[in-house]
Amino acid sequence: MSVKIESLTKIFAKQIEEGTLTALDNINLEIKDGEFVSLLGASGCGKSTLLRIIAGLEIPTQGAALFNGERIEGTSPKRGLVFQEHTLFAWLTVRQNIEFAAKATKRLNSRTEISNWLEVAGLTEFADNYPHQLSGGMRQRAALVRALAVSPEVLLLDEPLGALDSFTRMHLQDELIRLWKGRGNTMVMVTHDIDEAIYLSQRIVVMSPRPGRIAKILEVRMSYPRNRAVGDFTALRTQILKLMDFAQDVQEEYTI
Ligand SMILES: Nc1ncnc2c1ncn2[C@@H]1O[C@H](COP(=O)(O)OP(=O)(O)OP(=O)(O)O)[C@@H](O)[C@H]1O
Ligand SMILES: [Mg+2]
């Protein structure tokens, strides 16, 4: 598996006034097999747009997005996407949602396998519930498992834990690491939570807005599970805050 973004620019026509909006400007990025990469940046810097291009839902204006050396054209079950808002089918139960995705992509059919997935996500008890009968965290988990159950080579996550309270969020971050370690697939996650990016990823792509550019790519070499309270973690957080112009008076440079 490899994802390669080459000199990619995405320009949208403005919705109301005349003119254009450069959502992404000359992005170059290579994502390696099995890597956990986060795209981090302020609202509107083009994170979802970049993820949607990798998913095949948008096409670049200039440059290219390649998957395994081939230009990405349209969606593929090899590139699973979990949207910013969960998109479970309201009229199907949790189990049926997972079955539906699995059948649609002919990836996995047995009830036992689906039961295993439900177990992994701690949803066994709620397998026959409809989405509106779940808590927000359960819905997010169900959407995540539905995406994972079709065994994508790369899982594209658009703020998968966005709408959760901080405790559920931290719990699901651990679950995400466990799922990723267990499966070994590639993860590309969009977030605007600095700690989440540091806690989860091996590399953090820090983006700057208008036009969306890569400000810096940081490597996080701490081993898993990570500790949010240690010096390496907080030093990296400070470095990112500084990069994003939220901590102008910090003088020291850190390398971790
Ligand atoms: N289909 C579209 N048509 C026109 N403009 C768009 C379209 N999609 C995105 N944009 C614009 O592109 C820019 C980047 O949007 P994008 O959704 O990628 O940002 P984001 O970094 O994901 O933001 P957020 O953190 O708020 O989700 C924004 O200014 C947005 O208005
Ligand atoms: Mg977004």
Structure confidence at residue 153 (pLDDT): 92
Structure confidence at residue 20 (pLDDT): 93
Query: Which mutation among 49, 52, 61, 161 tests ligand 1's pocket best, with the greatest number of atoms within 8 A of CB?
Result: 49
Hey, which of 81-85, 97-101, 249-253 has the most confident mean pLDDT? 97-101
pLDDT digits (tens, 9 = 90+) for 111-139: 777 888 788 778 999 999 999 999 888 89
Average pLDDT of span 96-109: 76
Average pLDDT of span 224-235: 95
Q: Chain-centre distance of CA 115, in angstroms?
A: 25
Ligand 1 centroid distance, CA of 23 (Å): 7
Average pLDDT of span 39-64: 96
Q: What is the mean pLDDT of the chain?
A: 89
Structure confidence at residue 37 (pLDDT): 98
pTM: predicted TM-score of the whole model, two decimal places: 0.89
Where are any strands of DSSP class E within 172-235?
Answer: 186-191, 203-208, 213-219
Ligand 2 centroid distance, CA of 28 (Å): 19
Structure confidence at residue 218 (pLDDT): 97
Ligand 2 centroid distance, CA of 233 (Å): 25
Query: Which mutation among 11, 39, 45, 206 tests ligand 1's pocket best, with the greatest number of atoms within 8 A of CB?
Result: 45
More confident residue, 84 or 202: 202
Is the pLDDT reported for residue 104 higher than 80?
no
Q: Chain-centre distance of CA 241, in angstroms?
A: 20
Q: 30-34, 179-183, 192-196, 228-232: which has the minimum mean pLDDT?
A: 179-183
Half-sphere exposure in the Cβ direction for 84 (13 Å, CA): 9
Q: CA dist 18 to 12, 14, 41, 61, Å?
A: 11, 6, 27, 18
Is the pLDDT reported for residue 93 higher than 90?
yes
Instruction: State both tokens at 3.
Output: 């994802």
More confident residue, 67 or 248: 67
CA proximity to 185, closest of 158, 152, 156, 157 = 152
Structure confidence at residue 255 (pLDDT): 57
pLDDT digits (tens, 9 = 90+) for 150-202: 778 999 999 988 877 788 788 889 988 988 898 889 999 999 899 999 999 99
- What is the 8-class DSSP label of residue 212? B
Is the pLDDT reported for residue 43 higher than 80?
yes
Ligand 2 centroid distance, CA of 111 (Å): 34
Q: Percent of the chain scored above 70 by pLDDT?
A: 93
Is the pLDDT reported for residue 108 higher than 60?
no
Q: Spell out which residues line ligand 1, taking CB within 6 angstroms.
A: 12, 15, 21, 23, 41, 43-49, 192
Ligand 1 atom with the shortest distance to the CA of 212: 14
